[in-house]
Amino acid sequence: MNILLLLGSPRKNGNTEYMADKVIEGITENNDNVNLNKLYLSKMKISPCIACGVCEKEPFCILEDEMQDIYKYIKECDVIIVASPLYFCSVSAQAKACIDRCQMYFNNRVFRKTPIITGDNKKIGIAISSGGSKYPNQFDCLEMTMKFFFTEINADFTAKLYATETDKKHVKEQTSVISEAYEIGRSIANELKCR
Ligand SMILES: Cc1cc2nc3c(=O)[nH]c(=O)nc-3n(C[C@H](O)[C@H](O)[C@H](O)COP(=O)(O)O)c2cc1C
- Residues 6 or more apart whose Cβ sits within 8 Å of residue 121: 78, 195
Ligand 1 centroid distance, CA of 124 (Å): 26
Residue 78 one-letter amino acid: D
Q: Is 60 helix (H, G, I), strand (E, B) or coil?
A: coil
Contacts 24+ apart (CB under 8 A), 165-169: 165/131, 165/132, 165/133, 165/134, 166/15, 166/130, 166/131, 166/132, 167/132, 167/133
Q: Which domains does the chain have, with CATH numbers?
A: 2-193 (3.40.50.360)
**pLDDT of 8-24, one tens digit each?**
999 999 999 999 999 99
Who lines ligand 1 at CB under 6 A?
9, 11, 14-17, 85-89, 130-133, 138, 166
Which ligand 1 atom lies nearest to the CA of residue 10?
27
Q: What is the mean pLDDT of residues 140-144?
A: 98
**pLDDT of 47-61, one tens digit each?**
999 999 999 999 999
**pLDDT of 67-112, one tens digit each?**
999 999 999 999 999 999 999 999 999 999 999 999 999 999 999 9
